[in-house]
Amino acid sequence: MRTLKNTIVLLSIFSLFGCMEYKEVELVEVKQVAVRVFSMKEIRLVVYMQIHNPNSYKIAITEADMELFVKGKKIGNAKLDNIIVLPKNSNEVYEALVFTPMNEMQTNAIPIILSVIGQPTVPVHVKGYVKGKVKGVAKKIPVEFTDNVRLKR
């Protein structure tokens, strides 16, 4: 009897997730990047980006691990420092807090970063993954983005 109950519960859960249609979430535009911390320990950035979630359910972005390139040169690995919740059927600008620990930076990172200070836009390339969660189920999604990004003064 207990096995039958467990089987019914599992089938109910699988049928619930089987009904959820997933549509691709789109990174529409990186609006702006600002440096929050620039120290010998780490670099912390705030990235304002417009994301379109066409799904009929909210999605939480809980983790990211990406390689960050500026002017075609690798700076280091960037990680997400906050959780971003995308409401259902939304197209909004979100604030992502991103950091790169100094031990994960390339040796040429600081000269490259210093060379872009004062420029209105900077060519940025990001490659890696983000992890999204929907109703407790997590999925890694590959991300690749290249654009000229406006720096906040």
Residue ranges in the chain whose pLDDT is less than 70: 1-20, 153
Structural domains of the chain, with CATH: 22-150 (2.60.40)
CA angle 24, 28, 33 (to 5 degrees): 130
Report the alpha-carbon distance of residue 148 to residue 38 in Å, rounded: 21
| pTM as predicted | 0.74
pLDDT score recorded for residue 41: 82
**Mean pLDDT score of the chain, rounded to an integer?**
83
DSSP code at position 104:
G
Helix (H) or strand (E) holding 2: helix 2-18
The pLDDT tens digits for 34-72 are 888 877 788 888 889 899 999 999 999 999 999 988 899
pLDDT score recorded for residue 84: 95
pLDDT score recorded for residue 15: 47
